[in-house]
Amino acid sequence: MSETKPVALVTGASGFLGRHIVPALTRAGWSVRRAVRSADGTNGEALIGSIGPETDWQAALEGVDAVVHLAARVHYKNEEHAVQLYRDVNVEGTLHLARSAATAGVRQFIFISTVLVHGRTNEGRAPFRENDVPTPRGLYGTSKAEAEAGLRTLARDSDMKISVIRPPLIYGRGAKGNFALLTRAVRLGLPLPLAAINNRRNFLSVQNLSSFILHRLGHSEPGSNFEIFLLADRERISTPEFIERLARASGKRARLFAIPPKLLSAVLRVIGRQDVHDGLIGSLELDISKALATGWQPPVFLDEGLRLALSTQDA
């Protein structure tokens, strides 16, 4: 008689991360139940509507061994007017799901947070570590920090093991944000004024994120019910080098020219693109020694991750 597969409920399964993580879970022998707003007839769906403080999770969590919570409110136009939306989804929605999962007897809860709980740059400082005092930036980073605090409190009175993962920019096929902008610029052969940038940044391939999630789901040793992990690829490189290696992976030549970093920073601030400044010019280094100490090793190096990100085939 064959053993029953463990069941994982995945939120955000149709998003960028979910489109990579769901197949990885399936290949590893998990039965995946996708939490969706509206049914499309695909097997393994759990209809839950919108995620928030009133979501009914009872049916979706029945028989579930682990929850992988990917869904979040990430970007919203005029976000200063969307404080309640971020709170409803990223904070109260996350905590309501976690409480429901604990009540349902779920054994493990994986929460994808963000390195933005530390801030957007560690310029002039040591690489970020898990025990640094949070200094979140923006509504998104603040909402994730508040959700983490609530999960820590929940873990004290629960048998459910909670793993919080704080990633930097995640790249992979279908990624949006700065990675999509850089990929488009490289493919179009657009000149980029970043040659003089001398920073150090960590990035994370979606394959390495998937690998670490599976590693945590296989973790059964006794210990704390609440753990935070900074996660990234092993390599730390500058923004110009990242662009050059992205260009190489796409079979193109990077067209970089130099503008003094201080002038470039001033221009970006004047035009209101602090996000581009922080995402491309500043340094963002993570100490991933805690993740490595669990016995996990990143299976994908940067060049392979970029090649997979630009591939049209499933990885």
pLDDT of residue 80: 60
Relative orientation angle of helices 206-217 and 302-310, to the nearest 10 degrees: 110
Residue 137 pLDDT level (bands cut at 50, 70, 90): confident
Residue 108 pLDDT level (bands cut at 50, 70, 90): very high
What is the percentage of the chain residues whose pLDDT exceeds 70? 91
pLDDT top residue among 265 and 23: 23
pLDDT top residue among 203 and 81: 203
pLDDT of residue 267: 83
Residue 123 pLDDT level (bands cut at 50, 70, 90): confident
Q: Which residues are catalytic?
A: 140
- Please check whether residue 30 is in contact with residue 71, taking contact to mean a CB–CB distance below 8 angstroms: no
Residue 268 and residue 94: Cα distance in Å, rounded? Answer: 34
pLDDT top residue among 223 and 211: 211
Across the range 109-120, mean pLDDT stands at 96
pLDDT, tens digit (0-9, with 9 covering 90-100), for 98-107: 999 999 999 9
pLDDT value at 1 more than 50: no
SS3 sequence of the chain = CCCCCCEEEEECCCCHHHHHHHHHHHHCCCEEEEEECCCCCCCCEEECCCCCCCCCCCCCCCCCCEEEECCCCCCCCCHHHCHHHHHHHHHHHHHHHHHHHHHCCCCEEEEECCHHHCCCCCCCCCCECCCCCCCCCHHHHHHHHHHHHHHHHHHHCCCCEEEEEECCCEECCCCCHHHHHHHHHHHHCCCECCCCCCCCEECEEHHHHHHHHHHHHCCCCCCCCEEEEECCCCCEECHHHHHHHHHHHCCCCCCECCCCHHHHHHHHHHCCCHHHHHHHCCCECECCHHHHHCCCCCCCCHHHHHHHHHCCCCC
Which fold does the domain 7-174+203-234+285-300 belong to in CATH? Answer: Rossmann fold (3.40.50)
Contacts of 158 (CB under 8 A, 6+ apart): 102, 225
pLDDT of residue 315: 47
Residue 211, both tokens: 């690998």
pLDDT top residue among 279 and 291: 291
Strand partners for 203: none
Residue 34 and residue 41: Cα distance in Å, rounded? Answer: 12
pLDDT top residue among 166 and 40: 166
Worst-scoring range by mean pLDDT, 3-12, 44-53, 113-122?
44-53
Worst-scoring range by mean pLDDT, 32-46, 115-129, 191-205, 219-233?
32-46
pLDDT of residue 3: 60
pLDDT value at 76 more than 60: no
Residue 263 and residue 1: Cα distance in Å, rounded? Answer: 68
Worst-scoring range by mean pLDDT, 27-41, 77-91, 124-138?
77-91
Task: Give the torsion sign (CA, 154, 156, 161, 166).
Answer: positive
pLDDT value at 43 more than 90: no
Domain regions of the chain by residue span: 7-174+203-234+285-300
Residue 153 and residue 26: Cα distance in Å, rounded? Answer: 31
Q: pTM score, two decimals? A: 0.93
Residue 271 pLDDT level (bands cut at 50, 70, 90): confident
Judged on CB neighbours under 10 Å (0-12, 13-18, 19+), 293 is exposed
**Phi, psi of 11, rounded to the nearest 5 degrees:** -95, 155
Worst-scoring range by mean pLDDT, 29-33, 53-57, 135-139?
135-139
Q: To the nearest whole number, what is the mean pLDDT of the chain?
A: 91
CB atoms within 10 A of CB 221: 6
pLDDT value at 154 more than 80: yes
